[in-house]
Amino acid sequence: MNDVPWLTVLWVVPLLGALATAFSGRTGIPARTVAVAASLVTLAVGAVTATRFDQGEGGWQLTETHTWISAFGAHYALGLDGLGLLMVLLTVVLVPVVLVAAWRDTEDDRNGAAFFAWALALESLSLLVFTAADVLLFYVVFEATLIPAYFLIGGFGRAGRARAALKFLMYQLGGGLVLLGAVIGLYVVSARAGEPTYLVTELAGLDMPTEAGRWIFAGFFLAFAVKAPLFPVHTWLADTTENATPPTSVLLVCILDKIGTFGMLRFCLGLFPEASEWATPVVVVLALISIVYGAFLAIGQDDLLRLIGLTSLSHFGFIVLGIFALTQEGGSGAVLYMVNHGIATAALFLLAGFLIRRRGTSLISELSGMEKGAPVLAGLFLVAGLATAGLPGLSQFVSEILVLIGAFDYHWLAGAVAVTGIVLAAIYVLWAYQRIFTGPARAEQAAGERLDDGVGSGTTAPSATEAVATRTAAAPADLDRREVGVLAPLMLALVLFGFVPGPLLEVANPTVEMLLEQVTPDDGPTVASPEEAGH
């Protein structure tokens, strides 16, 4: 078992599952059954991989290195540290949840098989990105993730999906081209220093000229800012979440977009510590703008899916702020935020999808009184929304507190501006809940208006039987057992990590501490988990 290349197995399994799903029509097995089975096997491999990761050891583990293009110093190199492990676990948990959530959204025809196959392909490539220990390998897979993402957006969803998919692709390709220039720059710098290399471990110790390091950093950061997304290269986000299906939005916002903030930690801080510290004032300003601007935009939205998408602009601002505060608390908070945002936002998108399926619209102005007929849906939506708003006792609260501590350590003004994002989050969450779930249902309002009109104009008013029938028709069905089962692990995680964040901190701390030692060697103490503090 010690010789098993677990990281290779981890990304190959969902890729084989995607191929099996695409050709499942020839076997007679439903595509969705094949896809869910493949995602569960991937989850099992991810769990085994996690058990073989030694938290106390730190650094790169389970490494695999094979020469790929010797002339460029490129390798097929994989490795796992605490940051990568958390992203891998988030991915392998969310994908089966998404596939089961989409169980009834696509029939078992060619289109249904395509959706599930592209979802597994995206999982495979995302896992390879999170474990890549070679910059050129990372870049190739970073760009390859756009293929399944494009087809998931453009092939499924609303009438505007084609335009949204094209806009998404143009932004991402633009960032990718800039990243390509930076990757080439790394080759030139490493070749001048001796042997050309793309191995992350070797580049981290490279004595890079200051000016070259800053230019290459700028290329990496811009590409990751587009992916994350960060103001002002964020405008593709809302259009995408509004027109894509909710399961697709979960894959994009909760998994794929994490590559942006993951890259900022892995490459910007890891390879360009001097340039990261140099760029910190500008990045912090952009992060603060994202926090406040995203929250204000979310408050004014009438489309529920667009609203949830814009909340992520604000939340990614918090993550970037934590990273570039360059403190242990901020960095640990940012990593926790990446995990907890993925869980809470996935729950919100899936609940929005279940709601839209019942009402046939995502316009908040067309929704009201939902809690009467669907109290479970309403209750779970409120829990997920409050988690997004940072309610104490739910997982995102811990992340936000750590990020805010890091922000105040950086500068009191940065912390003060960031706090307003939490206040605004409470506004857009509670106002959206009030408009969607409280008050009379739309059909009841219409019946009341017809009754008033009938009394005033002399026409016959609806009978009591007709009024009861109208109210019954207006009441949507509540969540069924499958939908509750889909949401159960997400809700459990929101509560569990809200009270017991220690396990996540234990995994994240060594990697964050190592990265900050490169940028700020005299940084403060590690954020201890409750278990560590007890000793």
Please name the helix (run of DSSP H) or strand (run of DSSP E) that holds residue 61, with its range, or none. strand 61-69
Question: Has residue 294 got a pLDDT over 80?
Answer: yes
pLDDT given for residue 32 in this prediction? 86
pLDDT given for residue 336 in this prediction? 93
pLDDT given for residue 371 in this prediction? 78
**What are 160-196's pLDDT values in tens digits?**
889 999 999 999 999 999 999 999 999 888 888 778 8
Distances (CA, A) of 217 to 138, 174, 208, 264, 516: 16, 16, 11, 10, 16
pLDDT given for residue 147 in this prediction? 93
Average pLDDT over every residue of 431-449: 68
Distance CA(470)–CA(491), nearest Å, equals 33
Question: Has residue 461 got a pLDDT over 60?
Answer: no
Lowest-pLDDT range of 2-6, 189-193, 456-460: 456-460
CA angle 164, 168, 172 (to 5 degrees): 170
Q: Which of 78, 72, 37, 47 is nearest to 60 (CA)?
A: 78
**Mean pLDDT of all residues in the chain?**
85
* % of the chain surpassing 70 pLDDT: 87
Question: Has residue 467 got a pLDDT over 80?
Answer: no
Distance CA(463)–CA(467), nearest Å, equals 6
**What are 203-215's pLDDT values in tens digits?**
888 888 888 889 9
Question: Has residue 68 got a pLDDT over 80?
Answer: yes
pLDDT given for residue 267 in this prediction? 92
Return the half-sphere exposure (C-beta side, CA atoms, 13 A cut-off) of residue 348: 30
Rounded-to-5 percentages of helix, strand, coil across the chain? 75, 5, 20
Average pLDDT over every residue of 252-276: 92
Average pLDDT over every residue of 213-236: 91
pLDDT given for residue 448 in this prediction? 42
Question: Has residue 363 got a pLDDT over 80?
Answer: yes
What length is written for the chain?
535
pLDDT given for residue 112 in this prediction? 76
**Maximum C-alpha span of the chain:** 93
**What are 113-163's pLDDT values in tens digits?**
889 999 999 999 999 999 999 999 999 999 999 999 999 998 887 888 899
**What are 76-115's pLDDT values in tens digits?**
999 999 899 999 999 999 999 999 998 876 654 556 788 9
Distance CA(404)–CA(416), nearest Å, equals 9
Question: Has residue 229 got a pLDDT over 80?
Answer: yes
pLDDT given for residue 180 in this prediction? 94
pLDDT given for residue 453 in this prediction? 42
Beta bridge partners of 132: 78
Distances (CA, A) of 85 to 50, 94, 513: 7, 14, 16
